[in-house]
Structure 1
Amino acid sequence: MIKKLPFLLLFISSYAFAQDADFFKPDSIRKTVKAVKISTNIKVDGLLDEPEWLLAPASPDFIQIEPYQGKAPNFATLVKVLYNQKYLYFGITCKDPLGKKAIMASDFVRDFDYTRHDLVNLSIDAFNDKRNAMVFATNAYGVQRDLLSFDDLYYDIDWNGLWAVRTNRTDSGWTAEIAIPWKTLRYPKRADTVQSWGFNVYRNRRYTNEVTALSPFPRVFSATHMDYAGVLTNLQPPPPATNIQVDPYFLTSYDHYTNFGSAEPVHASSIKVGGDLKWAINSNSVLDLTAHTDFAQADADIQVNNITRFSVFFPEKRQFFLENASLFGMQVNPLPDGSGGSMNYQPFFSRSIGLDTAGNPIPIVAGGRFVYRSSKLNFGAIAIRQQGANDLPGTNFFVGRVSENFGSQDRVGALISVKNQPGGSNIETTVDGFFRLGESNSLNTLLTQSTTTNTGQKGFGGIMQYYNSNNHYKIWWTESVVTKNFDPQMGFVSRKDVIGTTPGINFYYRGSLLPFKSVLLAFEPGFLPELYYTASTGKFAEMDLPLFPVWLNFKSGAYFGYGIDPIRQHLTSVFQPLGVSIAPGDYSYLTHQFWASTDPSKIINLSFIYQTGSYFNGKLNSGDWKLQFAPVPYISFLGEYSRNHFEGVGENKTTTNVNLYVLRARFALNPRVQLTGIYQRNSLNNADNYNIRLSWEFLPLSYVYLIYNRGVTNMINNMVIQTQTEDHIIYKISYLQQF
């Protein structure tokens, strides 16, 4: 079956390409928006009532991206641009005859989920390289979302820029007023006094999921595909000048431990000071320094009960490591729609620094990061000193990265990482490349050798991934090889000692035969086969053949999918998912999968993934249910229940339940004052975890935090159940000053 798949995919690709009338190339005549220079300051209040706004011409008409590519919008959007010596201003009017009644927003989280909100999104390409963009977005309540995009492939989603926005909601729609300091933007120093930048704006009217854009792009891409962008003209930015941000903090904490014996004192308190410095040396170069780095305010990891043979990838959530992550964090990984296969490889994974294997913090003494970016050449380095803690010695970390852009959107690069401890070093050397083979085809490659000096052990990890994506289908083919001795101590790989082949295809059908077009957006069936062999022996290891004959996407954002998955497994050693011991041997079984979600923007949203059928030598019913209740954007609750019911599985014919409960709550006075809480209970280890955080952004990117963390674990000691508890109260204040 797998051997015949390339010919099937080639045939489908050729046929669909011939049918792909609405997949188009960038227009040779780019839409323009003219900025107007003013000498006064604009009060950013969302009202757009200053007389200066009358001087700026409105943007051209937007064009639909969703649900009807290329059609005129049903709801008009106007963009105006002003600037002075300090700020670049945007005034945006989102017209809607239903006014406030049509506005959708589920919470006040910065960097919110864009699928749940009304929003406008600005993409700015100041270098005109048609590859990279700074992105600034807001919902109708003035909640900010910003990111850096590179080739519409890698994103620094958690980059937080210094800018301001206020909004106003009326009976005829909503308006947004945005002020971005020139110092927040990165742009070249040019001899020309007047500049033009790549620029695009898109709006999502969430009530009907109508997505419109100033400059249209195929819906398979995003608004950061900057070769489709329009132009922002008549800009006269001040020459780039000294740009330094200093962000010191003060922290005090109190800790209390119960039943830890001599491992921890009963009471402890501490005071800590430190901070970060960011120096934008010029338009291309940024230096970051950090001392006594603290991440107390970072979101807690959400636990996962894993029943697969792949390691779970937990995302980075610490701000210092999130910035410029796209330069150092190149990776090949599965996408949210299941495409690409299950293999996940990232040569540099920043969670290897400052965290132990359980996710507990290890103190960072100091560190620095230098990054240079241009339209052709990018390079950077990270150096971190990690303090010794518990049984771990002090450790030095170094990462060096260089990449060169060529062609329209091609790139080659290299990375080296070194983890140095008293006993020796672990070294990774990586070469990588990304190649766009036309508008819809791409090839991504990563090849790494690892060397551990104290053992002399060497290993290899390599992965190549091809995509062919357009408005009618997505085809992919991923090949991976990871040897048994591969040891990327500063990276992440989801599975070792494996050779993987993971092709697949997802269809996107919106044609004339689609029924119920008033509610149904698309029929998107898919076939996602995966085949794995053991690299050290060449013998068969695993085959999955998931087929989704039904996948329906609705115009509301709801979806329903059904899949059937025949699986073969060859185990050479004991496999223990969630404490259930499964003996080596050959197994064949069949599972059924159900995926569904209601409209995620509504007050109540229910989603679930449910899997039922056989599992190795027994049965497994596995489900994950999520229920969100957001009566107003200021208040939201999210409950999650994950259940795995094993029946007659493994060597001991085990029948058991493993349950995970997660409750998250958020209360917001406004986008700047919020109280959040997370409670997690896992029956696998009889543990309860609480995380409560009050945050106040009293000035842009300056915060006061009050945090309470509690962990409860039931331990068996001499046949007696003993409860260990740890409580932590943290107060932290940070103050960002820009010079």
Structure 2
Amino acid sequence: MSKTLLYTFLISMSMLPCYGQDLVYQIKKTNIPIKIDGVLDEAIWEQVDVAHNFFQYFPNDSSEAESQTEIRMTYDDQFLYFSAKMYNKSEDREYVVPSLRRDFDGSQIDAISFIFDTFQDNTNAFQFGVNSYGAQREGMMAGGFGGTSWSWDNKWYAEAKQYPGYWIAEGAIPFKSLRFKEGKDQWNINFFRQDSEFGEQSTWNKIPRNFSITSLAFTGILQWDQPLKKPGSNISLIPYVAGETSRDYVNDNQSGPESKMNIGGDAKIAISSGLNLDLTVNPDFSQVDVDQQVTNLDRFELFFPERRQFFLENADLFSNFGHPYYAKSFFSRRIGIVRDTVSDPNNSRVIPNKILYGARLSGKLDNNWRLGLMNMQTEALEDINLPGYNYSVAAIQRKVFARSNVGAIFVNKQSFDDLNDNPNFDPSHFNRVLGFDYNLATADNKWVGKTMYQQSWDSDTLDSEEYAHALWIAYKGRKWEVEWAHTIVGDNFNAEVGFVPRNGLFRIENILARNFYPKNGIVNFHQTQLYLETLWGDTESSGQTVKSDQVMSINEYLQFQNTSEFSISLGKRFTYLFNSFDPTNTDGQPLPADSHYDYYYVWARFDSDERKVFSYSVVGQAGQYFNGNRYRLGGELSYRIQPIAAFNINVNYNKLIMPDPYNNADLLLIGSRIDLTMTKKLFFTSFLQYNTQAENFNINTRLQWRFKPVSDLFIVYTDNYATMDTNQEFNLQEKNRALVIKLTYWLNL
């Protein structure tokens, strides 16, 4: 297929008529005060329109919901109010709620969620949820495929109360917490309910099961009785003060504990009803959850998602450019860390690089245009002659046709510091990336895809192979799913503020899947999938292009009526090593460069019914591994004391048996999490991780008191121990320790 025919096809798919806007909710303004308490005793709730007759999404999507729901909404000058009445099949039942923590997660709990596509672009939306104990969650949806980032935080109010045969949620969302266009009289909306009694999921506007329950291709209309007005000045200040005491036992064992105080904060300024300016000065991220460790048997860098609050609103506008795994234009986790090019001769030591300030302007200009501008400045590390860097990002996105968009991004990294004694620092050095994306999403959501092109250049430009390109196209039908993708990353493509784990590759990926929906029996849904991925690259020794990696597998996925799941995969891998590599990642004898390996494996996983107080998952793998064998057994156990406590332990054990002279390895990773939610305002989390591959034992505990909406006191304790001594015998040795107390306050002006 020629490029001209391909792009013609993509455009024609984008222009298909819009689906799923069958239902309309008429909302009217009220002057009656509403108390948010889960008790519907205000007269207005008897006078407003009712959204009811919910449709089943799971276990079937061909009938009305067994447990019905009624939604009512109204508004005044400051708030959008909602109430939801969730009926049960039985009067006396136990609700499934793992904890009272904000931003709860899980598909098998009792909750009601509201989706507001305020610009009616069918690709971006806000989601607000309340569970049966009144815990809240809020998130931002982007891209139109149904994914939600729960890290976005904002101020709103909700309560829930349980009654015989039903439960009620009531809430108030300030218009200042939303982004919308002044003068509009319509939004796109949908509601979905999770009911644990029968494992049922249901929606107001019907959504086919082969799409996400939060798909923005299938929404109703929220019809306002008058055009919306700008909610007035919208400025929020979020100052913080933090005290920290820490000690590094490895690099500075004699100096004793070090104490410091940090003061800084953020500001949110609404430039318009859709465009927001975020400012930060001396940001502190000490309260952010630690990354969950993994056993790394890969040759390339692993990807860990962004968790820092400042980078999360409209994050997709910056971070979704490029390929998500092979060539991301911008990866915000590159900001705030730097490689030590002075004291570490291998350039492998990564150290924190304090952010001095940052600004981000992002949001909607109108129904079709989105804009993102960001600038961040980090501090110079004068004691080791590492400079501070300035990071600038500009992104723009235009909606085209029903749900597709085109966009461009520009990323610049350079230092404005003067020359110092660091021989690796060149004040004239810069790195820049210019990228273009086209994201396809047809109105009926059956065709999705993406094509992108990126070009990098810097002061050390090599004038060739400094580009990356990818194309992905997928058909998501009810019975059949077909995907094609190819990716090219040039030898010299360099995105220093992006994520590019490997250069010089050409990749093709193909997927063919058949979906089945049994009418009877214990299996609710199953899918059979054929998968093929092949990568090519140029060898360093000869410069010839050879096949470097290949995965061929047949995969089966089953979902049962009780919501448990089972997956199994039979596969074959091929690997050609361009460089020597120790497959155990334990600094043993490496396999030689220019060697290649074929190996077969079987992989399986089972996840039990999460509605039970005790739930578990088990994963196993057995088969060949390079020139040896790999056996993996892992799993997770979860137990909850509802709704105040949840206990979790996960184990991952890998046994690698390699022929002489290569290392055998027994790699064990154990993590445990204790989550206590004494109230909806007081939370305690303890997270332990033991990793034999990294020879590290980590303790992270966090106490959070939300004394006012979005205002918190955090007490965070972190401890890291080395687990092996110089004789490679188990011996806990202190590496570093820190105690942080942080107070944040959200102030609306």
TM-score (norm 1): 0.90
1:303 paired with 2:293, answer yes
- Residue 73 of structure 1, CA deviation: 1.1
Once structures 1 and 2 are overlaid, which stretch shifts more, 621-630 or 387-396? 387-396
Which whole-Å CA distance do the structure 1 matches of 2:323 and 2:104 have between them? 22
- The alpha carbon displacement at 1:243 in A equals 0.4
> What SS does structure 2 have at the residue aligned with 1:471?
coil
Matched, 1:677 2:717: no
Contact kept in structure 2, 1:70 and 1:216, CA below 8 Å: no
User: Match of 1:365?
Assistant: 356
Q: Secondary structure at the match of 2:278?
A: strand
> How far has the Cα of 1:79 moved from its partner?
0.5
Distance 1:144 1:231 in 2: 24
What are the within-5 Å matches in structure 2 for residues 163-242 of structure 1?
163-190=156-183, 195-236=185-226, 237-242=228-233
- 1:53 corresponds in structure 2 to 45
Which residue of structure 2 aligns with residue 16 of structure 1? none
Give, in angstroms, the shift of residue 84 of structure 1. 1.7
- Residues 20, 219 of structure 2: 8 Å contact kept: no
CA shift for structure 1 position 119: 1.5
The aligned counterpart of 1:159 is 152
In 1, the alpha carbon distance for the partners of 2:100 and 2:210 equals 28
Please point out which of 379, 402, 426 is paired with 2:431: 426
Instruction: Report what 1:567 is aligned to.
Output: 573
> Do the aligned residues in 2 keep the contact of 1:331 with 1:344 (CA within 8 Å)?
no
Q: Decide whether aligned partners of structure 1 residues 345 and 137 sit closer, same or farther in structure 2, where only a CA change above 3 A counts.
A: farther
For 1:588 and 1:642, locate their aligned partners in 2 and report how far apart those are by CA, in whole Å: 25
* Residues 99 and 476 of structure 1, relative CA distance in 2, 3 Å threshold: farther
Query: What are the superposed Cα offsets for residues 691-734 of structure 1, whole Å, 9 maximum, x if unpaired?
Result: 10000111111111011111112575699989343211111101
Among 526, 544, 563, the residue aligned to 2:551: 544
Identity %: 25
Cα deviation, residue 34, structure 1: 2.5
Partner residue of 2:239? Answer: 248
Deviation at 1:333, TM superposition (A): 6.3
- Cα distance in 1 between the residues matched to 2:367 and 2:18: 22
- Structure 2 counterpart SS, 1:115: coil
Query: Are the counterparts in 2 of residues 693 and 705 from structure 1 also a CA contact under 8 Å?
Result: yes
Residue 587 (structure 2) pairs with residue 582 (structure 1) = no
User: Aligned-residue CA RMSD in angstroms?
Assistant: 2.5
Q: What is the match of residue 18 of structure 1?
A: none
Deviates most, 157-166 or 651-660: 651-660
User: Which residue is equivalent to 2:4?
Assistant: none
Match in the other structure for 1:704: 713
What does residue range 392-403 of structure 1 map to in structure 2 within 5 Å? 392-403=386-397
Contact kept? 2:651, 2:671, Cα under 8 Å: yes
Q: Which residue of 2 aligns with 1:687?
A: 696
TM-score (norm 2): 0.89
Residue 731 of structure 2 corresponds to residue 725 of structure 1: no
- The alignment partner of 1:183 has SS state of helix
- Match of 1:612, SS state, is strand
Out of 608, 611, 614, the residue aligned to residue 601 of structure 1 is 611
In the other structure, the counterpart of 1:656 is 665
Aligned residue number for residue 319 of structure 1: 309
Q: Which residue of 1 aligns with 2:620?
A: 610
Match for 2:329 among 339, 343, 347? 347
Identify if the C-alpha distance between structure 1 residues 137 and 469 changes in structure 2 by more than 3 Å, giving closer, same or farther: same
Which whole-Å deviations, capped at 9, do the CAs of 1:48-91 have from their partners, x for residues lacking one?
22233222232231111222213011111000112122211100
Unaligned runs of 5+ in 1: 4-22, 335-342
Question: C-alpha separation between the residues in 2 aligned to 1:114 and 1:126?
Answer: 25
Count residues in correspondence.
Answer: 699
Counterparts in 2 of 1:599 and 1:312: CA distance versus 1, 3 Å? same
* CA drift at 1:677: 1.0
Deviation per CA, 1:560-609, whole angstroms, max 9, x where unpaired?
12211111221121122322532331211110111111012321111122
Deviations 1:493-546 (A, max 9, x none): 34332111111123220145xx52xx3211212112111111563211111101
The CA deviation at 1:165 is 0.8
CA contact (8 A) 1:106 1:602 kept: no
**Structure 1 CA distance for aligned equivalents of residues 461 and 455 of structure 2:** 15
Structure 1 position 227, deviation (Å):
4.2
Residues 100 and 441 (structure 1), Cα distance of their counterparts in 2 relative to 1, 3 Å cut: same
**Deviation (angstroms), 1:173:** 2.2
After superposition, the Cα gap between the structure-2 partners of 1:735 and 1:484, relative to the gap in structure 1 and judged at 3 Å, is same
**Larger deviation, residues 615-624 vs 88-97:** 615-624
> Distance in 2 between the 1:45 and 1:457 partners?
65
| Contact 1:123/1:223 (8 A) holds in 2 | no
Deviation at 1:331, TM superposition (A): 4.8
Q: Counterpart in 2 of 1:534?
A: 537
Residue pair 1:100, 1:169 contacting (<8 A) in 2 also: no
CA distance in 2 between counterparts of 1:428 and 1:99 reads: 60
Q: Which moved more, 1:148-157 or 1:530-539?
A: 148-157
Partner Cα distance (1:623, 1:546) in 2: 20
User: Which amino acid letter does the alignment assign opposite residue 529 of structure 2?
Assistant: G
How far 1:244 moved relative to its partner? 0.5
- Give the one of 74, 80, 90 matched to 2:72: 80
* Correspondence list, 1:374-389, <5 A: 374-389=366-381
Equivalent residue for 1:627? 637
Task: After TM superposition, give the deviation of residue 348 of structure 1 in Å.
Answer: 0.7
Can you list the C-alpha shifts for 1:302-343, whole angstroms capped at 9, x where unaligned? 111122344321011000011110111115667xxxxxxxx4
Judge which range, 629-638 or 144-153, deviates more.
144-153
Alpha carbons 1:106, 1:116 under 8 Å: kept: no
Question: Hey, what does 2:103 align to over in structure 1?
Answer: 111
- Structure 2 counterparts to residues 457-476 of structure 1, below 5 A: 459-476=466-483
SS of corresponding position for 1:101: coil
